[in-house]
Amino acid sequence: MTTLELQKALKANGFDPGGIDGVMGRNTIAAIRAFQAANGLEVDGVAGPNTLAKLGVSQAQAAADPLSSLSMPWFTEAQRALGIKEDTGPGSNPLIIGWARRLRIDYAKDEISWCGLFVAHCIGLTLPGEPMPNNPLGARNWGTLGIGCTPQPGAVMTFWRESRAGWKGHVGFYVGEDASAYHILGGNQGDAVNVKRFGRDRFLTARWPKTAPPPTGGPRILRPDGSFSDNEQ
């Protein structure tokens, strides 16, 4: 089931998600929460299995590729952002600057590493009650998010950069893995939002938002595709 179909189901049940546009924005989350409250469900703003069942969505309809599960709205937003690039000239991409403004994060220009900002945008937009780490621009700080989990689709993955003992790092979302690398959907990967491979030896933590349904997935095995990421600055 897609976000667009979810919005239509909410509307049909009398809960207005705002525009029927396929975007898991604040109006859609508010409609989910209102529906949950009216139906005696846990009010978390996430369309998990119990919420979908109350909406009359069958298990067959709800079943989907793990990369498009409605239980992971932050990951849906991350995929929606694929292809966004920073401005490599003297200016900045207003979309990226806008992410920071909405979250009230002090961020001046997209020449500054923005992998942490990208993760903050995806989680902050779709899970507004999720506590953010201190200084979300710091990639390694995402190692304190929510709860620990095994690497699986949607997990927030942190990696060291330049030195394991140093402070520099990278953060993004797990897409899959192969024998030697994790495939990560992240921002500031070659100055853009895309999927890159990160060597297993660079892995630090896998975390899961605590306000989302608990993680129940596992590894998603992919074929090696492309070289390792070498530009996350």
Q: Look at residue 124 and tell me if it is in a domain.
A: yes
Q: How many residues does the chain have?
A: 233
Q: Tell me the CATH number at 24.
A: 1.10.101.10
Residues 6+ apart with CB under 8 A from 178: 197, 221, 222, 223, 224
pLDDT tens-place string over residues 157-186: 999 999 999 999 999 999 999 999 999 999
Would you state the pLDDT for residue 67?
A: 79
Question: For the chain, how many structural domains are there in total?
Answer: 2
Using CB atoms within 10 Å of the CB of residue 173, give its burial: 0 to 12 exposed, 13 to 18 middle, 19+ buried. Answer: buried
Residues 6+ apart with CB under 8 A from 32: 6, 10, 15, 17, 45, 46, 47, 51
pLDDT tens-place string over residues 81-118: 999 999 988 899 999 999 999 999 999 999 999 999 99
Which domain, by its residues, includes 9?
Answer: 3-63
Mean pLDDT of 212-219: 92
Task: Catalogue the E-assigned strands of 116-192.
Answer: 147-148, 156-160, 169-177, 181-186
Pair (191, 136) in one structural domain: yes
Q: Which residue has the higher pLDDT, 65 or 139?
A: 139
pLDDT tens-place string over residues 15-61: 999 989 888 888 999 999 999 999 999 999 999 889 999 998 876 66
